[in-house]
Structure 1
Amino acid sequence: MDVIDVIVTKRDGGELSTAQIDWVIENYTSGAVADEQMSALNMAILLNGMDRREISDWTKAMIRSGERMDWSALDRPTTDKHSTGGVGDKITLPLSPAVAACGGAVPQLSGRGLGHTGGTLDKLESIPGWRARLSNAEMLAVLREAGSVICAAGEGLAPADRKLYALRDVTGTVESIPLIASSIMSKKIAEGTSALVLDVKTGSGAFMKTPERARELARTMVELGHDAGVDTVALLTAMDRPLGRTAGNALEVAESLEVLAGGGPADIVELTVALGREMLAAAGIYGKDPADALRDGTAMDHWRRMIIAQGGDPDAPLPVARETHTVTAPASGVLTRLDALAVGVAAWRLGAGRARKEDPVSAGAGITWHAVPGDRVEAGRPLFTLHADEPVRFERALQALEDACEIVPDGVPRLLPLIIERIVP
């Protein structure tokens, strides 16, 4: 088989055969197909798309490029959640132990933040001693001890995707829905979970800015899960405003602990419970409700066991930024808009995020907002608190926030519903 024939087939709008897809993924992973050739194929896919069979074959080929994890030794069904990312999205932190407290096993392979979106591993690494990198045997041991594990994906999981992801990032092909969907689902299916719930976000702070694009991505991923024998559903959720009241690593851990203690922001609790119920139903687990696990302390018990099992100290003080800066409300009225992207960029500039994967992050940096859309605010009262280790960072963060909010004397917010739609096979 010849890579030029594969490129030309897709360039001219044709369908790639299963054999062509298997060959090109195998040979790209091994290095026989060059980056510039795969770049051309990626661009052809971006421009001409793929049908369902092609995307399914592409995903299966990426899964076969590495190992597929096996949790059959566990005495409970596995179920997992994946979010497409946003600002203040700390849902995984209370969700995984809450589902574990209800009888599920949650093998959660998570990532790091890039740009304005936060990363679950960065948040958890603000806990002293906590380890993100575990062997498969260590993951199994943590699952048996705590019912949930949150860690980094190993090198052997879908190595084809790791190469393709880096290539897409530098060739302008990130936006292709077939390539996004296969990237996410190859890792999640290889993870070995029997059930999967997708949290696909839309709005200014999300990768998919419009509900239409987010819906297309969600449907594509649900179909891929179904084709691979993994019970998969998706919730389309809002990211036109940030979630909760904080964006930043240790700040979001502290807010998650409030939720695990039975309190916390209403939107975080609502989404945690909704996703938890979907995860349990997809795995065929019925009985205890995630809302009860948050209220009665059992979710917190599982959290503590998970953190300890991964080397962390759940009682240690969380890092705090050295400097803070308060932004006050310029007028009195109703906060009708709080832009998720602006808040995320501000948190990034304060040191909570990174521009490149190898950049360090500040555990204590980030932003707290003291009002959410629909709240009344008073002129001169705190609206934001900025947290940073170097005060020089405040100026650029303030620039990002210049048009982040709108205050109207008697305004009414125009927001997407928190949970927009449920998508099933």
Structure 2
Amino acid sequence: MENLLRELVPRVLGALVRRYGNFATAEDAVQEALIAAAAQWPDHGVPDNPAAWLIRVASRRMTDLLRNEQARRRREDTVAGWVLPEQQRSPAADQAHAETDDTLILLFLCCHPALSGEAQVALTLRAVGGLSTAEIARAFLVSEQTMTRRISRAKLRIRDSGLPFAMPSGPERADRLAAVLHALYLIFNEGYVSTAGPHLQRVELASEAIRLTRFLHRMIPDDGEVTGLLALMLLTDARRPARTGTDGRLIPMAEQDRSLWRTEAIAEGVALVTAALPRGVPGPYQLQAAIAAVHGEAPSAEQTDWPQILRLYELLLRHGDNPVMALNHAVAAAMVHGPQVALPLVEAVAGDPRMSRDHRVPAVRAHLLELAGEPEAACEQYREAARRTPNPPQQRYLNDKAARLRQ
């Protein structure tokens, strides 16, 4: 039942926001309807139309909340100012409107340009992903009270912006779609490699990002970057079963048991990116997906087509100044031309202020120094990388690499 309620959240919330226009109050009403469902459905059974049941209960609660707010503010025009013309729509008209359209609009609304990237991610997880505030707080490693305040501020900012509950059009839609994709990308990355906490991965976050991106792809199937992002997530997540040992120890890609990789996810990801690439000039997500596809199709680490990966990274770097992609390009250059060619590329990235405390710079430098036959220098860089990362599995892996070089 929990999964069903989570899937219904964006439909119900979208229906209320479309009818009443107040995002913050609608979200509160939906949460109370979910509590009512969790209390009643186990005893009385799931209704024939659970979405309609939730919309009906949430609408009643929404009316109460609006009346309370009206009384508190003592201004008759307050509620009227919140109400969109769509409030006059009948319930039948709401049912006729495609529920999936409401979910898509919610995704764009959560990525309002007035919000910070962190707020966009949190609100997307709450309103569209259906995660509780406590779950989101754990993902961000903050207290539930802190996350409650953060989400409340985001909802109020959307309300105060006066943004209508409608799909943006023209250049605004393109800008907002980029923000939506970036938010989903950040959610997936946090799930695939957590920035802190005891575990390397947060499977529930990565899975939620894939679910939401898959939904977005169904709604906008012809957008190459949406397709590319879904392909990238599937191809990357396919390696998850082989990334850690039974003791939680990190296993790098070159040492992974590729028989554990999920072949169905790789096949789907390869098919998606193969279909997207010929449509026009590939964007960053498509190129990253193409790189992941080359890795996914390689029978072994030794048989990886590194020249092709290097060419793809060179194309990717043309899309913007991304120091992480530049660091990955250096690794690919090392695999094709040797570590001595790649080390200056790493030093160029190390000079970027955005990477001044990032553990990946000394980690890559250590790997290249090890390949170049300089174990002592590599050992020190592995230790420096371990000091910089807050993730315990990564710390353990990097310290183990340093220890082996000292033997």
The answer to whether the superposition gives a TM-score over 0.5 is: no
Q: Which has the higher contact order (CA 8 A, sep 6+)?
A: 1
Q: Which has the higher strand share?
A: 1
Q: Which has the higher helix share?
A: 2
TM-score (norm 2): 0.32
